[in-house]
Amino acid sequence: MKRIDLRSDTVTLPTDEMRKAMANAEVGDDVYMDDPTVNLLQKKAAELLGKEDALFVISGTMGNLLSIMTQTRHGDELITGRNNHIITHEVGGLAALCGVMTRLVNNDNDMIYPEDIEAAMRPDDIHEPRSVLVCLENALSNGTVVPLEIMKKDYETAKRLGLNVHLDGARLFNAALALNCDVKELAACADSVMFCLSKGLGSPMGSMICGTKEFIAQARKNRKRIGGGGRQMGHMAACGLVALDVMTKRLHEDHDNAKYLAAELKKIQGVHLMSEPEISMVFFKLDADEAKFMSLCKDAGILMNPSDRGVYRVVTHVGVEKEDLDVLIECIHKAL
Ligand SMILES: Cc1ncc(COP(=O)(O)O)c(C=O)c1O
């Protein structure tokens, strides 16, 4: 029986091409900055995003942390959304390791609008912390994308107020695909950008942060400080190159599969689709007993996360075929 893992796009396995690239990579000591494969990956990532420079880091969490650390001082405040990944899923790293306060935007759709930034900006007052950074996310963790126009206006507003902008673009390529724009256009709405090579792009590990040369030089120092300076990292960077060259070009398959699943779910009485999928994520409620549904899934070889207050999330990725989604649909019918 095939194992069908619908829990997340983080479960993707390296492709054969990645495994070969890993084995054959030309490597060096990346702390000395002489690993040619890492250097090539960083050059490519910077070019793709239209930024001066880029840095290869272990994870999206490390990329966000270093971006915040490099653009803030202890006691500073950043503005972000209450459900952004840096708030809900990064173990309070920005407080624990950067000493940064947060001012949270509270919109139901998790977007941040220019007026939210204006309202959250602290006045120049002896009593108040210094507002320094806005942290945006696109695609959002709720599976929606922030329109480019909003990103542009957010950036203009932040710059007018003297703030820097960091973009958590863990799924930047999914967002650009859904918005039918170039990743450069999204990257132009931020001073620093993090995107993941793992997740939908299939690398076993790694994320990139991109920005000015000065920002990257300081982030590299901070990466060393937190123990993230790797040595023969080219073996991993080689997968990142395949991710950029090959895997970015197939993401539409995951989006199409998510749309297929949503269309099928809409036909079933007792299934409530939360919204039309915009990237590779489908959210739905089910008028069926959760334990029964989960057990049916398990028996069919499907790995699903338990619901979040009744809402299930399915994530499509390179390891999921359309037929696998039919197996899920069958389980839903049985559970109902
Ligand atoms: C929006 C967002 N940002 C950051 C991350 C962190 O990435 P990592 O798991 O590589 O630390 C994730 C992970 O799922 C994410 O969804």
d(CA 266, CA 285): 11
Q: What is the DSSP letter of 271?
A: E
Please give the pLDDT value at position 38. 98
User: How confident is residue 116, by pLDDT bands cut at 50, 70 and 90?
Assistant: very high
CATH architecture, range 250-335: Alpha-Beta Complex (3.90)
Kindly give the number of the ligand 1 atom that is closest to the alpha carbon of 199. 14
How far is the centre of ligand 1, averaged over its atoms, from the C-alpha of 194 (Å)?
10
Domain 11-245 is of which CATH architecture?
3-Layer(aba) Sandwich (3.40)
**Residues contacting 298, CB < 8 A, separation 6+:** none
CA distances in angstroms from 144 to 45, 63, 255, 296, listed in the order given: 24, 22, 12, 29
Q: What is the 4 CA–ligand 1 centroid distance (Å)?
A: 21
Query: What pLDDT is stored for residue 278 in this prediction?
Result: 98
Question: Please, which pLDDT band fits residue 305 given cuts at 50, 70 and 90?
Answer: very high
Distance 20 CA to ligand 1 centre (A): 26
Domain ranges of the chain: 11-245, 250-335
pLDDT category, 109, cuts 50, 70, 90? very high
Q: Which two tokens stand for residue 153?
A: 């206006």
Q: Does any ligand 1 atom lie closer than 6 A to the CB of residue 110?
A: no
- Could you tell me the distance, in angstroms and rounded to a whole number, from the CA of residue 200 to the centre of ligand 1? 11
* pLDDT band per the 50, 70, 90 thresholds, residue 155: very high
User: What average pLDDT does range 195-201 have in this prediction?
Assistant: 97
Question: Per-residue b/e over 65-95, b at no fewer than 16 CB within 10 Å?
Answer: bbbbbbbbeeebbbbbbebbbbbeebeebbe
Given the CA of residue 8, which atom of ligand 1 is nearest to it? 14
